[in-house]
């Protein structure tokens, strides 16, 4: 059964270049425009020296006036990552910038950067890989169980599959997670069980 599903997923992926070309010429019309501004890499000593990018109050207002909003953040036109601002006080927010991202960007504390923010209008807060999407089309039970997961666990499944670049490995990860998910009790799914590390059914 798994081999049949894998073959069907691979067949669909053979069409991926054509679908990508279609998406290029017919982009989604609902995408909002990015908000771009300059700021400096700052640090919160009260948070173990966590580095962050400030989101000014006027930007928060342009984003709808709410701190709790899912965004895609692009820094210096080099690196884009999903994020959610945390309240900083006085209507401002902050986006954490970990060591790995600072190294990728080649930036340091107090250095000025250009930030572009755009609302994340995707269903899950991140892009679902085509391998997982096609698997869920083929596996009705798996799709039902995935829909019953809390949003955070749905994002975990998507994130885990997206962590590898090779299409074959994405298929393998997707099948592994969904097959293990179907063996868990509804409402009691754990990450360990989905990874096959814990077979407890209590």
- Residue 127: pLDDT over 60: yes
If one compares 201 and 100, the residue with the highest pLDDT of the two is 100
Chain segment 22-53, per-residue pLDDT in tens: 333 334 334 568 999 999 999 998 878 899 99
- Residue 202: pLDDT over 60: no
Q: Say how many CA atoms lie within 13 Å of 140 toward its Cβ.
A: 0
Pairwise CA distance, residues 81 & 84, whole Å: 10
Calculate what percentage of the chain has a pLDDT beyond 70: 81
Q: Please state, in angstroms and as integers, the Cα–Cα distance from residue 172 to each residue in 141, 162, 164, following that order.
A: 18, 12, 10
Average pLDDT of the segment spanning 139-149: 95
- Residue 75: pLDDT over 60: yes
Chain segment 86-97, per-residue pLDDT in tens: 999 999 999 999
Residues 6+ apart with CB under 8 A from 199: 183, 193
Domains of the chain, each with CATH number or no CATH: 2-25+125-194 (no CATH), 37-119 (2.40.30.100)
Give the per-residue pLDDT at 1: 54
Give the per-residue pLDDT at 7: 55
């Amino acid at each position: 059964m798994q081999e049949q599903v894998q073959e069907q997923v691979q067949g669909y992926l053979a069409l991926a270049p054509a679908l990508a070309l279609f998406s290029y010429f017919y982009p989604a019309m609902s995408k909002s425009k990015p908000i771009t501004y300059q700021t400096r890499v700052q640090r919160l000593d009260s948070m173990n020296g966590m580095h962050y990018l400030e989101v000014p109050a006027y930007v928060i207002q342009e984003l709808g006036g709410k701190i709790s909003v899912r965004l895609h953040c692009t820094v210096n036109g080099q690196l884009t990552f999903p994020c959610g601002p945390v309240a900083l006080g006085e209507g401002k927010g902050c986006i954490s910038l970990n060591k790995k991202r600072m190294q990728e960007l080649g930036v340091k504390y107090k250095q000025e950067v250009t930030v572009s923010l755009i609302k994340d209008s995707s269903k899950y807060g991140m892009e679902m890989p085509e391998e997982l999407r096609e698997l869920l089309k083929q596996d009705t039970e798996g799709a039902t169980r995935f829909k019953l997961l809390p949003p955070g666990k749905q994002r975990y499944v998507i994130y885990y599959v997206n962590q590898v670049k090779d299409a074959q490995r994405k298929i393998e990860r997707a099948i592994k997670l969904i097959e293990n998910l179907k063996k868990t009790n509804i409402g009691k799914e754990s990450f360990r069980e989905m990874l096959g590390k814990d077979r407890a059914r209590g």
